[in-house]
């Protein structure tokens, strides 16, 4: 069977038609793909099995099959059949192949269709795949979040554990630190106590050694000088009588001689006024006393001749050497009679009489000799001496420690404060210093210098010649100058000259940084805590008083605010002065209760109150931070101060050429933990460095350190040395601070946050590596000292507190604190700050100081530890009282010409030395003493005017007055029925008063005589006459001996011997028992109480003459009352003065055992109750029930005060107990006087009330029945 062509129509239905269009020539590559092993036999078999054969083959196969079926037995022809089949197959191989290929393709197609996927399946599979992927992704994310949450939870738990461990560690560290501090404090206190005990023992040994030496010296001198002293006392009285007689004779002879001379010259003589020579000078007294040795040693016939010769010498002396005595203290030996007379008559055109003030006496020919020496002018009531020189003058004062200090005429003319030199309203100078002529005689020789009175002040009057008038050069160049038609007169107040001549007084007028007395360390300051500001919080009564004296000072804003119309301006001025004084003195102070309700930095109703405070003390200084600025914690702060990190010790704005001097910081909000402020006095640190390593200290004074600020488009830079010395170019350098020899500093510059690299070009002291290493060591040493605990003052500022500190002296810092950064809008810590220049603060301080105290007078005072001076009021021995003629006219002229002036204080309106105050002196004497940093007080000369005051101090007049009052109370309370006095009651009372006064004065004087070495060690007693050497020990002993002898003698003769014996016992007990025991045992207090109990016994004994009968129980009850009262009175006082007693080495109960001191006070205060309610009423001197009932409230008040003193243990409670005791004793005594039966009987008789009815009522009731 063969293949048919494409166009053959004879092909059967089973044949495969071949489309010639499908025929394509096979390429070599397709043929190569067919070169694979191919199973031909299997292929054919498959074709045959599948029926893929031609029709002929089928027929043949069918026939063969039929034949095979019909004749199965005909198997003998298998070869023929097979052959036929093969022939059939061979006839159509192509068809078979195509059938097989078709079968193969179909099979493969089915397999391919079965194996392949359709589009929807693919999309479905893709969708399922994506869904699976999304599910897996979601599961992964969920698992990731869960894992992250789990990790966060674990991290949180770990962080909590870490925080808990950290907090516990902090607590353990703080607890350990606290324990260490407690141990250190305890050990320090023990060491300090041991040191104090050692010092006390050393002081006691020193005191005992001093006393032993004094006793030994006294014992040695007693044997040698006692007899001579006793004989000298009699000799002194004889000499005094002889001197008095000689003075009287000389006065009489001189007066006759003057009268004769006046008659000879036809001049009127005023017989009522003694001549000037009556006030005998030392030379005249020397001539008189020159005859005393002859009179005393050779009392024979030559006595009369010697006396006559002395009288002749006196007459010659007074006739040729009559001194001129000026009433204002001017003594001159160089002015002739003609010049004096012309001056007295020509001044103001008023003719002065012959005896007028100033030039009433003529000079002898010895004036020519006096012209060869410098002319002297003496200021009244002081030892100030002015000597005139050809080109100037010198001024000196021994009391003020001023050696002759020269002031030339050019300086004096330049310093003139007259209206022609200084404008009267604006106080500005009207000429230049260069306008004063040089190398010429400026003074007018026709008007010599003199002392006058100007505005209640002694002043030096200088007259400048009109030929050398001072003319403003600018006016000469551009204006018209009038020629001077009269000399220029200038008055220079003596205080004005002294303040320029004495360096300490000159510094006192400045009172700026030079007013710093001493540096401070932490131990010198006290810690305090206030409550946050609240508008309803009350102000304590003693807030200002206690805060003004504290260190650091803390002044409430209520006392200084300027908008309080009802406040006392004087009190506000004192409060503001206390604040500025503390800021200048200590370098920092606090203002408490400053409101925080307004916080705006802009001026207006809502402006912060810090603006008001700063404007009260000065003017605000504007910087690139603004007038007011805020310090708040911020996350993106440009300044470390605005973070919550630790802020080290530093100073502000040192990159300025002139950094602000004072800084104000007001706490508005403080809701954080931590953030304590720390302050360090750099002056004190510099002192320590100067003492320990002076070489490194000097390096810091020479090496410049650069400071810069480069931020926000600003570039500030300047260099300062770390220690700036106070140079004279700043006005006045002044001496070192108290307690150190270090030169005075004007400022310290230390600000590490803003320190630039150390400048190397050009720097003389940093040229080599060794110099730089030395500087680094010096700076490190200073830095280490600033961090030492002994210099740090730490303060946790509360809301409403404002600190003011010296930015060039006090280093300030802040500890780190905790704050919540997540709450961005909430302010947890907020400070408002500003700057004020030093000139403004110092100006306010000088002005307030003048208002409160006036300018410091010119003699030091020891009333307190501050700078205070007052001029001595003693008169000079060469001065004489002014004498005037009753008919002399021209009272106004005399008031201006040299009048006697008592210049005890000079207090101008301003502390500026060029401003002269013309206020009256009377209003200035009532001022309180001004501040002082000196303890110097010159001793006034001993004159008859000062002796009463000295004797008053020796006798302790206040204590003597109380002693006499208690004695008089004992005398007055004694019943009249017991009086046995020989004289009248008034005479006996007067004698008792005088005798007790003398005995008390003697005891007190002897007490001061024994304790004078120790009184000099205590501030309270340094001004007593003996420690200040106002009187000599011999003088004090003579006064005490005379007082004791006269007092005991007066009591013995005018009262009775028993009272005299009690007075002598009081002197002995107080002076020779109580006084020595004060330095050995605390039992001295009980001995002193016995001394205080004796005066009422003396008053009782003055009435009764006995103390040993049953009727004398009243006297002993009064003594018991005084004895018990002494303890709460004196012990409370001793508690407030225990530091002074300890410094003086006294073993007082308040020093040795303060607890026992308080217990004893309470014990005896309670004992006053039974004494007043039982003992005194039973004595019969008072009405029992009335006195017992009425005295109970007073005794309960006394007991309550003692109980408060016992419980609180404070100085305030001790003062209260002391003041209550001062009220208690007079009140009880007056109450006893009021309850005395005789007083009521006398009152009844005075009112006319009969006592018969009272007597009838007291009769027996049985008599009435009869």
What pLDDT, in 10s, does the model give residues 1017-1066?
777 787 788 887 788 888 888 998 999 999 999 988 888 888 899 999 98
pLDDT of residue 743: 87
pLDDT tens per residue across span 376-411: 888 888 889 999 888 899 999 988 888 899 999 999
Residue 12: strand, helix, or coil: coil
Confidence class for position 852, pLDDT limits 50, 70, 90: confident
Which pLDDT does position 785 carry in this prediction? 93
Contact assessment for residue 884 and residue 962, using Cβ atoms and an 8 Å cutoff = no
- Those residues whose C-beta lies under 8 Å from the C-beta of residue 146, and which sit 6 or more positions away, are none
> Rounded to an integer, what distance in angstroms lies between the CA atom of residue 1051 and that of residue 1029?
32
Lowest-pLDDT choice from 351-355, 853-857, 1216-1220? 351-355
Q: Give the pLDDT band of residue 564 (cuts 50, 70, 90).
A: low
Q: Which residues contact 1266 (CB under 8 A, 6 or more apart)?
A: none
Please give the distance of CA 653 from its chain centroid, rounded to a whole number: 25
Cα distance between residue 1189 and residue 1200, in whole Å: 17
Average pLDDT, the chain: 74
Please, which pLDDT band fits residue 918 given cuts at 50, 70 and 90? very low
Burial (CB count within 10 angstroms: exposed 0-12, middle 13-18, buried 19+), residue 191: exposed
Query: Is residue 909 over pLDDT 50?
Result: no
Higher pLDDT, 364 or 1216: 1216
The pLDDT value recorded for residue 1124 is 92
Please provide residue 925's backbone torsions phi and psi, each rounded to the nearest 5 degrees: -70, -25
- Give the residue with greater pLDDT, 1155 vs 484: 1155
C-alpha pair distances (Å), 415 with each of 482, 911, 1219 = 22, 16, 53
pLDDT score of 823: 65
685, 791 in Cβ contact below 8 A? yes
Note whether 523 and 192 are within 8 A (CB): no
Omega of the bond prior to 552 within 30 degrees of 0, cis? yes
Nearest to 551 by CA among 517, 527, 516: 527
Which two three-digit tokens encode residue 197?
């005990």
Range with the poorest average pLDDT among 48-52, 184-188, 363-367, 835-839: 363-367
Structure tokens at 1258: 């007291």
Q: Higher confidence at residue 63 or residue 643?
A: 643
Evaluate whether 898 touches 450 at the Cβ level (below 8 Å).
Answer: yes
pLDDT over threshold 90, residue 627: yes
pLDDT score at 1244: 65
Residue 31: which residues within 8 A CB-CB, separation 6 or more?
Answer: none
Angle, helices 302-320 vs 119-264, to 10°: value is 120
- 633 close to 856: Cβ distance less than 8 angstroms: no
- The stretch 104-124 carries a mean pLDDT of 78
Token pair of 581, please? 């004084």
Q: Which DSSP helix (H) or strand (E) runs through 679?
A: strand 677-681
**CB–CB of 832/630 below 8 Å?**
yes
User: Is the CA virtual torsion 306, 309, 314, 317 positive or negative?
Assistant: negative
Taking a C-beta distance cutoff of 8 angstroms, is the pair 1213, 1128 a contact?
no
Contact 613, 802 (CB under 8 A): yes
Select from 1133, 1228, 1248, 1212 the least CA-distant residue to 1171.
Answer: 1228
3-state secondary structure of 677: strand
More confident: 152 or 193: 152
Q: Comparing C-alpha atoms, which of 736, 746, 732, 729 is closest to residue 913?
A: 732
Helix or strand or coil: residue 590?
A: strand
Show the 3-state SS of 798-842: CCCCEEEEECCCEEEEECCEECCCCCCCCCCEEEEEEEECHHHHH
Are 649 and 812 in contact by the 8 Å Cβ rule? The answer is yes
Contacts of 227 (CB under 8 A, 6+ apart): none
Summarize the confidence of residues 760-772 as an average pLDDT.
81
Which residue, among 377, 389, 545, has the nearest Cα to 459 in the 3D structure?
A: 377
Q: Could you tell me the pLDDT band of residue 722, with boundaries at 50, 70 and 90?
A: very high
Q: Label residue 46 by pLDDT band (50, 70, 90).
A: low
| Per-residue pLDDT, 716 | 93
Mean pLDDT of 994-1013: 88
Cα torsion angle, 199, 205, 209, 214, sign: positive
Average pLDDT of the segment spanning 104-110: 78
Model confidence at 1261: pLDDT above 70: no
Residue 402 phi, psi dihedral angles, 5° rounding: -100, 115
Averaged pLDDT for residues 570-581: 91
Q: b vs e for 362-400, b when ≥16 Cβ sit within 10 Å of the residue's Cβ?
A: bbbeebeeeeeeebbbbbbbbbbbbbbeeebbbbbbebb
Element (DSSP H or E) covering residue 274: none
Using 50, 70 and 90 to split pLDDT, how confident is the model at 362? very low
pLDDT (0 to 100) of residue 635: 58
Q: Return the pLDDT at 825.
A: 61
- pLDDT number for residue 622: 93
d(CA 607, CA 628): 10
Q: Can you give the pLDDT at residue 48?
A: 67
Q: Let me know if 533 is exposed, middle or buried by CB neighbors in 10 A (0-12, 13-18, 19+).
A: buried
pLDDT bracket for residue 342 (50, 70, 90): very low
Task: Check pLDDT > 70 for residue 340.
Answer: no
The pLDDT score that the predictor gives to residue 898 is 34
For 211-256, what is each residue's pLDDT tens digit?
777 667 666 655 655 555 555 555 555 555 565 555 555 554 454 5
Instruction: Encode pLDDT of 452-477 as tens digits.
Output: 987 778 899 999 988 888 888 887 78
Residue 79 belongs to what H/E stretch? helix 78-91
Rounded to the nearest 10°, the torsion over CA 37, 40, 42, 44 is 150
Q: What is the mean predicted confidence (pLDDT) over 627-653?
A: 79
DSSP per-residue codes, 125-176: HHHHHHHHHHHHHHHHHHHHHHHHHHHHHHHHHHHHHHHHHHHHHHHHHHHH
Q: Select the more confidently predicted residue: 503 or 974.
A: 974
- Residue ranges of domains in the chain, CATH in brackets: 119-286 (no CATH), 518-847 (3.60.130.10), 953-1108 (1.10.357.140), 1125-1138+1151-1266 (no CATH)
Share of the chain above pLDDT 90, in %: 21
pLDDT tens digit sequence for 479-528: 777 777 889 999 999 888 888 888 777 766 665 555 677 889 988 898 88
β-pairing verdict for 402-408 and 392-397: antiparallel
Give 295 or 1077, the one with higher predicted confidence: 1077
Residues 6 or more apart whose CB falls under 8 angstroms from that of 1115 comprise: 970, 974, 1096, 1097, 1099, 1100, 1101, 1104, 1107
pLDDT at residue 21 above 60? no
530-539: list long-range contacts, CB under 8 Å, 24+ apart: 530/554, 530/592, 530/593, 530/798, 530/800, 530/801, 531/798, 532/670, 532/798, 532/799, 532/800, 533/593, 533/594, 533/595, 533/596, 533/798, 533/799, 533/800, 535/595, 535/597, 537/593, 539/593
- What is the per-residue pLDDT for 453? 86
pLDDT at position 76: 52
Q: Are 647 and 811 in contact (CB under 8 A)?
A: no
Task: Note whether 1043 and 1001 are within 8 A (CB).
Answer: yes
| pLDDT of 650 strictly over 90 | yes
Residue 510 to residues 584, 855, 911: CA-CA distances in angstroms?
12, 11, 7
Tell me which of 617-626, 896-905, 1187-1196 is least confident. Answer: 896-905
3-state secondary structure of 589: strand
Average pLDDT over residues 789-794: 92
Pick the more confident residue, 985 or 786.
786
| Residues of the chain above pLDDT 70, percent | 67
Name the strand (E) or helix (H) holding 668.
Answer: strand 662-670
Give dist(CA 1167, CA 1246) in Å, integer.
38
pLDDT (mean) for 44-63: 63
End-to-end alpha-carbon separation of the chain, Å? 202
Q: Is the pLDDT of residue 920 over 60?
A: no
Per-residue model confidence (pLDDT) at position 358? 35
pLDDT at 592 over 90: yes
Does 1218 have pLDDT greater than 50? Answer: yes
pLDDT grade for 60, boundaries at 50, 70 and 90: low
The β-bridge relationship of strands 620-621 and 829-836 is antiparallel
Cβ count within 10 A of residue 771: 15
Give every CB contact of residue 195 below 8 A, 6+ residues apart in sequence.
none
According to DSSP, residue 1018 is labeled S
Query: Could you give the CA distance from residue 1204 to residue 1212 in angstroms, rounded to a whole number?
Result: 10
Does residue 886 have a pLDDT over 60?
Answer: no
Q: How confident is the model at residue 701 (pLDDT cuts 50, 70, 90)?
A: very high
Closest listed residue to residue 1123, CA positions, set 1197, 1058, 1188, 1176: 1176
Distance CA 166, CA 315 (A): 105
């Amino acid at each position: 069977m063969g293949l048919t062509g494409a166009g053959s129509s004879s092909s059967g239905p089973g044949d495969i038609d071949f489309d010639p269009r499908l025929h394509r020539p096979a390429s070599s590559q397709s043929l190569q793909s067919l070169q694979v092993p191919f199973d031909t036999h299997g292929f054919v078999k498959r074709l045959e099995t599948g029926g893929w054969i031609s029709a002929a083959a089928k027929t043949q196969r069918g026939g063969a099959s039929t034949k095979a079926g019909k004749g199965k037995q005909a198997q003998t022809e298998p070869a023929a059949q097979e052959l036929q089949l093969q022939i059939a197959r061979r006839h159509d191989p192509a068809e078979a192949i195509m059938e097989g290929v078709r079968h193969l393709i179909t099979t493969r197609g089915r397999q391919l269709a079965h194996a392949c996927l359709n589009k929807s399946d693919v999309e479905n599979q893709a969708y399922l795949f994506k869904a699976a992927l999304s599910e897996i992704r979601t599961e992964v994310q969920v698992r990731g979040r869960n894992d992250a949450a789990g990790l966060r939870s674990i991290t949180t738990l770990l962080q909590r554990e870490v925080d808990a461990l950290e907090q516990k560690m902090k607590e353990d560290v703080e607890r350990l630190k606290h324990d260490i501090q407690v141990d250190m404090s305890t050990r320090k206190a023990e060491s300090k106590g041991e040191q104090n005990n050692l010092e006390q023992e050393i002081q006691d040994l020193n005191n005992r050694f001093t006393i032993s030496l004094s006793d030994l010296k006294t014992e040695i001198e007693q044997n040698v000088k006692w007899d001579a002293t006793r004989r000298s006392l009699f000799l002194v009285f004889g000499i005094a009588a002889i001197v008095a007689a000689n003075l009287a004779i000389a006065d009489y002879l001189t007066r006759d001689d003057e009268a004769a001379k006046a008659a000879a010259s036809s001049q009127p003589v005023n017989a009522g006024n003694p001549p000037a020579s009556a006030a005998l000078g030392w030379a005249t007294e020397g001539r008189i006393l020159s005859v005393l040795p002859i009179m005393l040693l050779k009392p024979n016939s030559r006595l009369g001749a010697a006396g006559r010769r002395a009288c002749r010498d006196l007459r010659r002396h007074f006739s040729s050497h009559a001194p001129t005595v000026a009433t204002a203290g001017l003594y001159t030996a160089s002015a002739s009679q003609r010049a004096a007379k012309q001056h007295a008559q020509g001044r103001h055109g008023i003719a002065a009489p012959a005896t007028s003030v100033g030039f009433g006496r003529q000079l002898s020919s010895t004036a020519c000799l006096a012209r060869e020496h410098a002319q002297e002018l003496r200021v009244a009531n002081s030892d100030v001496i002015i000597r005139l020189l050809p080109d100037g003058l010198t001024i000196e004062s021994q009391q003020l420690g001023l050696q002759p200090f020269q002031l030339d005429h050019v300086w004096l003319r330049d310093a003139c404060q007259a209206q022609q030199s200084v404008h009267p309203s604006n106080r500005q100078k009207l000429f230049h210093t260069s306008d004063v002529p040089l190398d010429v005689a400026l003074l007018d020789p026709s008007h010599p210098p003199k002392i006058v009175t100007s505005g209640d002040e002694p002043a030096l009057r200088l007259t400048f010649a009109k030929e050398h008038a001072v003319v403003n050069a600018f006016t000469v160049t551009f204006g018209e100058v009038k020629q001077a038609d009269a000399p220029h007169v200038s008055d220079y107040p003596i205080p004005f000259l002294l303040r320029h001549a004495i360096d300490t007084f000159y510094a006192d007028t400045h009172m700026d940084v030079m007013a710093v007395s001493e540096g401070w360390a932490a131990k010198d300051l006290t810690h305090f805590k206030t409550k946050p500001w609240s508008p309803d919080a009350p102000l304590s009564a003693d807030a200002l008083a206690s805060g003004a004296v504290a260190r650091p000072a803390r002044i409430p804003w209520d006392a200084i605010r300027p908008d309080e119309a009802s406040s006392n301006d004087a009190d506000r001025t004192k409060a503001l002065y206390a604040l500025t004084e503390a800021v200048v003195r200590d370098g920092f102070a606090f203002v408490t209760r400053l409101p925080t309700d307004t916080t705006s930095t802009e001026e207006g109703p809502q402006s912060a109150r810090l603006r008001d405070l700063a404007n009260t003390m000065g003017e605000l200084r504007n910087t690139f931070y603004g007038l007011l600025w805020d310090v708040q914690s911020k996350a993106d702060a440009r300044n470390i101060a605005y973070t919550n990190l630790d802020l080290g010790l530093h100073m502000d704005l040192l990159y300025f050429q002139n950094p602000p001097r004072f800084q104000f910081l007001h706490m508005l909000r403080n809701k954080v933990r931590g953030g304590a402020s720390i302050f360090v006095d750099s002056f004190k640190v510099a002192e320590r460095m100067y003492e320990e390593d002076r070489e490194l200290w000097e390096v810091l004074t020479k090496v410049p350190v650069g400071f810069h600020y480069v931020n926000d488009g600003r570039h500030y830079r300047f260099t300062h040395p770390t220690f700036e010395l106070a140079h004279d170019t700043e006005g006045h350098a002044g001496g070192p601070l108290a307690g150190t020899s270090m030169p005075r500093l004007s400022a310290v510059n230390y600000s590490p946050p803003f320190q630039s690299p150390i400048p190397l070009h050009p720097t003389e002291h940093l040229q080599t590596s060794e110099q730089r290493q030395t500087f680094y060591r010096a700076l490190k040493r200073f830095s280490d000292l600033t961090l030492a605990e002994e210099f740090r003052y730490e303060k946790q500022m509360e809301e409403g507190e404002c600190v003011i500190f010296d930015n060039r002296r006090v280093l300030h810092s802040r500890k780190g604190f905790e704050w919540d950064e997540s709450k961005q809008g909430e302010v947890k810590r907020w400070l408002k700050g500003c700057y004020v220049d030093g000139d403004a603060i110092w100006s306010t301080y000088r002005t307030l100081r003048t208002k409160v105290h006036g300018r410091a007078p010119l003699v030091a005072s020891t009333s307190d530890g501050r700078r205070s001076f007052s001029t001595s009021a003693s008169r000079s021995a060469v001065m004489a009282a002014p004498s005037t003629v009753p008919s002399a006219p021209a009272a106004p002229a005399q008031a201006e010409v040299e009048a006697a002036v008592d210049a005890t204080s000079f207090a101008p309106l301003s502390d500026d030395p060029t401003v002269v105050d013309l206020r009256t002196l009377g209003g200035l004497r009532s001022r309180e003493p001004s501040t002082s940093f000196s303890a110097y007080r010159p001793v006034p000369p001993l004159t008859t005017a000062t002796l009463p005051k000295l004797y008053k101090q020796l006798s302790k007049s206040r204590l003597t007055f109380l002693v006499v009052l208690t004695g008089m109370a004992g005398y007055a309370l004694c019943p009249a029925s017991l009086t046995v006095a020989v004289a009248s009651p008034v005479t006996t009372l007067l004698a008792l008063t005088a005798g007790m006064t003398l005995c008390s004065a003697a005891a007190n004087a002897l007490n001061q005589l024994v304790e004078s070495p120790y009184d000099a060690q205590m501030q309270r007693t340094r001004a007593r006459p003996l420690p200040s050497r106002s009187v000599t020990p011999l003088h004090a002993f003579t006064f005490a001996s005379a007082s004791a002898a006269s007092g005991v003698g007066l009591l013995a003769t005018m009262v009775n011997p028993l009272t005299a014996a009690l007075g002598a016992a009081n002197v002995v007990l107080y002076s020779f028992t109580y006084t020595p025991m004060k330095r050995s045992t605390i039992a001295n207090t009980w001995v002193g109480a016995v001394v205080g109990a004796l005066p009422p016994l003396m008053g009782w004994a003055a009435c009764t003459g006995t103390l040993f009968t049953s009727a004398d129980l009243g006297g002993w009850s009064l003594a018991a009352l005084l004895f018990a009262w002494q303890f709460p009175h004196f012990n409370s006082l001793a508690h407030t003065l225990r530091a002074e007693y300890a410094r003086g080495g006294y073993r007082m109960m308040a020093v040795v055992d303060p607890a026992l001191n308080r217990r004893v006070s309470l014990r005896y205060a309670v004992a006053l109750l039974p004494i007043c309610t039982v003992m005194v009423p039973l004595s019969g001197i008072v009405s029992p029930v009335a006195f017992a009932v009425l005295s109970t409230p007073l005794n309960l008040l006394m007991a309550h005060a003692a109980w408060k003193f016992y419980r609180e243990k404070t100085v305030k409670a001790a003062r209260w107990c002391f003041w209550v005791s001062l009220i208690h004793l007079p009140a009880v005594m007056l109450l006893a006087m009021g309850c005395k039966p005789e007083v009521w009987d006398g009152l009844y008789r005075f009112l006319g009330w009969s006592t018969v009815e009272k007597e009838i009522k007291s009769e027996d009731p049985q008599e009435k029945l009869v």
